[in-house]
Amino acid sequence: MSKVYINNHPLVQHKISILRNKTTGTNEFRSLVGEIAMLMGYEALNDLPTEEVEVETPLETCMTEMISGRKMAIVPILRAGLGMVDGILNLVPASKVGHIGLYRDETTHTPVEYYCKLPSPIEERIIVVTDPMLATGGSAIDAISQIKKHGGKKIKFMCIIAAPEGLKALEEAHPDIQIYVGHLDRQLNSDAYICPGLGDAGDRIFGTK
Ligand code: URA
């Protein structure tokens, strides 16, 4: 099964609580999504490979660690996943950014793909797929299948809030990935919204509706 990491850091939980509040405005919401992505990224990237390099300090020459070889790719699922990109780029500015466009059919709740552009080559990269809300899991499952079709192998999925139903579906569909969850919520409602959730993440990040 996939490795699932449920975050329990007080800073992340505090910021998620502010996101949930329906009176939190677009600017604050967008900033918080970026901050949470950065805090979660710090944990999710704790296995990045490093190598020893020689550095001359003002005092002497020493061997010291730096991130090595394998390059990273961040792949937001459009559109809400975009809100998490800058937070992770702050940590690893050399990352390439791919995009996968999926929208949810409002009646069937299934994902429909309309765009896929990934950095090439993708095979050797550590790939961080972002979507703030893991609801039914349909979009994440589909996006990760696309990435695998293009040759992606080392995949991490990062979401701010997950529903148990979506988490289970994603684990079953892609048992080889690592899944990072900011908070595991109670359930989906009949419209496939996460409860208690925070509403439509894309609308709240971009101020649409
Ligand atoms: N997408 C969202 O933005 N919110 C939900 O609750 C479910 C899916």
Q: What pLDDT, on a 0 to 100 scale, did the predictor assign at position 209?
A: 81
User: What is the chain's mean pLDDT, rounded?
Assistant: 95
Supply the residue whose CA is at minimum distance from atom 3 of ligand 1.
Answer: 200
User: pLDDT (tens digit, 9 = 90+) per residue, 151-172?
Assistant: 999 999 999 999 999 999 999 9
Q: Which of 19, 77, 193 to mutate to test the pocket of ligand 1 (most atoms within 8 A of CB)?
A: 193
Q: What are the extents of the domains in the chain? A: 3-49+68-206
Label residue 106 by pLDDT band (50, 70, 90): confident
Q: How far is CA 77 from CA 62, 88, 159, 161, 189, in A?
A: 42, 14, 11, 15, 22
| Residue 70 pLDDT greater than 90, yes or no | no
CATH number for 3-49+68-206: choose from 3.10.180.10, 3.40.50.1980, 2.60.40.10, 3.40.50.2020: 3.40.50.2020
Known binder of ligand: residue 186? no
Percent of the chain's residues with pLDDT above 70: 99
Q: Tell me the Cα Rg of the chain.
A: 18
In angstroms, rounded to a whole number, what is the distance separating the alpha carbons of residues 98 and 180?
19
Average pLDDT over residues 120-131: 95
Which DSSP category does 80 fall into? G
Q: Exposed, middle or buried: residue 116 (CB in 10 Å: 0-12, 13-18, 19+)?
A: middle
In angstroms, rounded to a whole number, what is the distance separating the alpha carbons of residues 169 and 32?
27
Dihedral angle computed from the Cα positions of residues 89, 92, 98 and 104, in that order, rounded to the nearest 10 degrees:
-50
Alpha helix stretches (DSSP H) within 115-190: 138-149, 164-173
**Of 120 and 106, the one with more pLDDT:** 120
Please tell me the pTM assigned to this model: 0.94
Q: Is 161 in the pocket of ligand 1 (CB under 6 A)?
A: no
Known binder of ligand: residue 44? no
Label residue 53 by pLDDT band (50, 70, 90): very high
Q: What pLDDT, on a 0 to 100 scale, did the predictor assign at position 15?
A: 98
Known binder of ligand: residue 81? no
CB-based contact 16:185 (threshold 8 Å): no
Average pLDDT over residues 49-60: 96
Q: Is 133 in the pocket of ligand 1 (CB under 6 A)?
A: yes
Q: What pLDDT, on a 0 to 100 scale, did the predictor assign at position 96?
A: 95
Interacting residues of 138 by C-beta distance below 8 A, sequence separation 6+? 104, 109, 110, 111, 169
ipTM: 0.96
Residue 26: both structure tokens together: 């677009």
Supply the residue whose CA is at minimum distance from atom 5 of ligand 1.
Answer: 193
Dihedral angle computed from the Cα positions of residues 8, 2, 81 and 84, in that order, rounded to the nearest 10 degrees:
40
